[in-house]
A and B are shown apart, each in its own frame.
Chain A
């Protein structure tokens, strides 16, 4: 079986800094000043700890995760807040670098991480479609070709020349999804895209995702609502505290495990 994405021993470590270097230069300078003077003038042993002391703490957002996504699969990623879902998607879409491990990707990736990336509030809906299309990797001619379709899908024909900032959050979400849905990627990453929008629009989104998938694309889908995952996905993984708990093509099993974690 050929894979679209293969992840091998993937880890991502964030260094949490406590004390000065988390904030401003002034605090860092103050820290070194104190350090310098405490060497110069040895103080009593019981002097209070330096509040500007820099300490590091490692946080493994992902630890040794390995899995494979077959071509054309619809993978649901499940996990509670802080499980490492967003980190995984960041690494897949290359906005962050892994600390160790490897990801093999076969195909063009497009990711829709949080709605409205690259939308500017002052620009009109029309201008934003072009900007966002470019951010997502579409060329000008491709956007021009799909423009009418995008606008029709978002159902905001009437307001397409209104500044984006005057849109309701539902309208913003619809336009954002519409642009992303008209990409023709081989791998599509969707993070919480159904969070906004009413039920009928959510249905429309799922239908569109089905359509993209039937065109042969691989889809990675993160959603907190398990119903959409159950309905849509063919594979699922469950993450917990940065570790892979389950990798299965039995979506119900994954959902049971995820819901079981909650209890």
Chain B
């Protein structure tokens, strides 16, 4: 026997979420399949976008601006920044829109709403693995071999995902009511790509302003990401790293709290 009353939907939330894992599987599968339906190259798009971005950035920042790459091949430097950035951008962008894209299901279905961001997270990680394989290929090509610091690599994936999902949940909650965020998020991502050390190394920022630059949590994450791959050539900026770790954890918790507090009303406000 179940009793439904005001406020009762908060009970047993996580166990219900677990019980719905079959739905999660099909939502993820749907998202994976649907994206590249009626396209010619299909899933290869996952690689084409970061690859072309790398080519363009290498031309602009490497060949034209002739920025310093600490002795590393410029294409590799850029791609090692693009991989975490695309993971962040995909997760943040998609999560912020998840209530709108799944609005039809959400209005008709009683399920923990966190199932949508989790499906997006799964899809994002699949994309990430593919673009990461290309990075591994590049490292072989340039004969760059990792050292023991590579064990910290998963930490930076987790930080990227936590930051993106946390911010995405906040944006999704606001987006349910104010569609302004649908316009704002792509713009933030467009700007953020240049404000984060994607096309260049953060070591180029003068030491005086390093701490200001590191206020962007992605700066510390991307710096650390490159560091785990080539610790010999990329120094790590420790204050920025600590800030990014704390930021990613705090923002994820805040995101979940904000999302959960507004959750009961999503079907009514969307």
C-alpha gap A118/B30 in the complex (Å): 10
* Cβ contacts A103-134/B at 8 Å (1 or 0 each): 11110000101100110101100010011011
- Among candidates B6, B37, B104, residue contacting A118 with C-beta atoms closer than 8 Å: B104
Q: How far is the CB of B114 from chain A (nearest CB, A)?
A: 16
Interface residues of B in 60-114 (CB under 8 A from A): 104-110
A-chain residues with CB within 8 Å of residue B52 when the two chains form the complex: none
Which of B19-27, B203-211, B219-227 is near enough to bind chain A?
Answer: B19-27
Which of A74-82, A89-97, A207-215 is near enough to bind chain B?
Answer: A89-97
Decide: B22 and A140 in contact? CB cutoff 8 A.
Answer: yes
Decide: B179 and A24 in contact? CB cutoff 8 A.
Answer: yes
Interface of A is mostly: mixed
C-alpha gap A128/B25 in the complex (Å): 13
The answer to the question of A197 belonging to the interface, with a C-beta cut-off of 8 Å to chain B, is no
Q: Which residue of B lies closest to A3 (CB)?
A: B1
The answer to the question of A32 belonging to the interface, with a C-beta cut-off of 8 Å to chain B, is no
The answer to the question of A100 belonging to the interface, with a C-beta cut-off of 8 Å to chain B, is yes
The answer to the question of A98 belonging to the interface, with a C-beta cut-off of 8 Å to chain B, is yes
The answer to the question of B40 belonging to the interface, with a C-beta cut-off of 8 Å to chain A, is no
A-chain residues with CB within 8 Å of residue B23 when the two chains form the complex: 134-135, 137
Decide: A96 and B267 in contact? CB cutoff 8 A.
Answer: yes
B-chain residues with CB within 8 Å of residue A111 when the two chains form the complex: 108
Decide: A93 and B110 in contact? CB cutoff 8 A.
Answer: yes
Q: How large is the interface on A (under 10, 10 to 19, 20 to 34, 35 or more residues)?
A: 35 or more
C-alpha gap A106/B108 in the complex (Å): 21
Q: How far is the CB of A5 from chain B (nearest CB, A)?
A: 10
B-chain residues with CB within 8 Å of residue A90 when the two chains form the complex: 267
Decide: B4 and A98 in contact? CB cutoff 8 A.
Answer: yes
Q: How far is the CB of B6 from chain A (nearest CB, A)?
A: 6
B-chain residues with CB within 8 Å of residue A104 when the two chains form the complex: 1-3
- Among candidates B6, B33, B177, residue contacting A99 with C-beta atoms closer than 8 Å: B6
B-chain residues with CB within 8 Å of residue A140 when the two chains form the complex: 22, 25
Report if A94-B4 is in contact (Cβ < 8 Å); known contacts: A24-B179, A117-B109, A135-B26. yes
* Cβ contacts B1-24/A at 8 Å (1 or 0 each): 111111111000000000000110
- Among candidates A25, A92, A98, A163, residue contacting B6 with C-beta atoms closer than 8 Å: A98
The answer to the question of A26 belonging to the interface, with a C-beta cut-off of 8 Å to chain B, is yes
Decide: A122 and B107 in contact? CB cutoff 8 A.
Answer: no
Decide: B179 and A135 in contact? CB cutoff 8 A.
Answer: no
The answer to the question of B153 belonging to the interface, with a C-beta cut-off of 8 Å to chain A, is no
A-chain residues with CB within 8 Å of residue B30 when the two chains form the complex: 120, 123, 127, 131
Q: How far is the CB of B51 from chain A (nearest CB, A)?
A: 25
C-alpha gap A167/B22 in the complex (Å): 26
Decide: B3 and A102 in contact? CB cutoff 8 A.
Answer: yes
The answer to the question of B178 belonging to the interface, with a C-beta cut-off of 8 Å to chain A, is yes
A-chain residues with CB within 8 Å of residue B267 when the two chains form the complex: 90, 95-96
Q: How far is the CB of A8 from chain B (nearest CB, A)?
A: 9
- Among candidates B6, B34, B110, residue contacting A123 with C-beta atoms closer than 8 Å: B34
A-chain residues with CB within 8 Å of residue B7 when the two chains form the complex: 97
Q: Which residue of A lies closest to B268 (CB)?
A: A96
The interface of chain B, by Cβ under 8 A from chain A, is 1-9, 22-23, 25-27, 29-30, 33-34, 37-38, 104-110, 177-180, 264, 267-268
The interface of chain A, by Cβ under 8 A from chain B, is 14, 21, 24-26, 28, 90-106, 111, 113-114, 117-118, 120, 122-123, 127, 130-131, 133-135, 137-140, 163
List 14 extra interface pairs beyond A100-B5, A117-B105, CB under 8 A.
A25-B178, A95-B106, A95-B267, A97-B8, A102-B5, A105-B1, A113-B108, A120-B30, A122-B37, A130-B26, A131-B29, A133-B26, A134-B27, A135-B26
- Could you list 30 examples of A-B contacts with CB < 8 Å? A21-B177, A28-B178, A93-B108, A94-B9, A95-B106, A96-B267, A97-B6, A97-B8, A98-B5, A99-B6, A103-B5, A104-B1, A105-B4, A111-B108, A117-B104, A118-B105, A118-B108, A120-B34, A123-B33, A123-B37, A127-B33, A131-B30, A134-B22, A134-B23, A134-B26, A134-B27, A135-B23, A137-B23, A139-B22, A140-B25
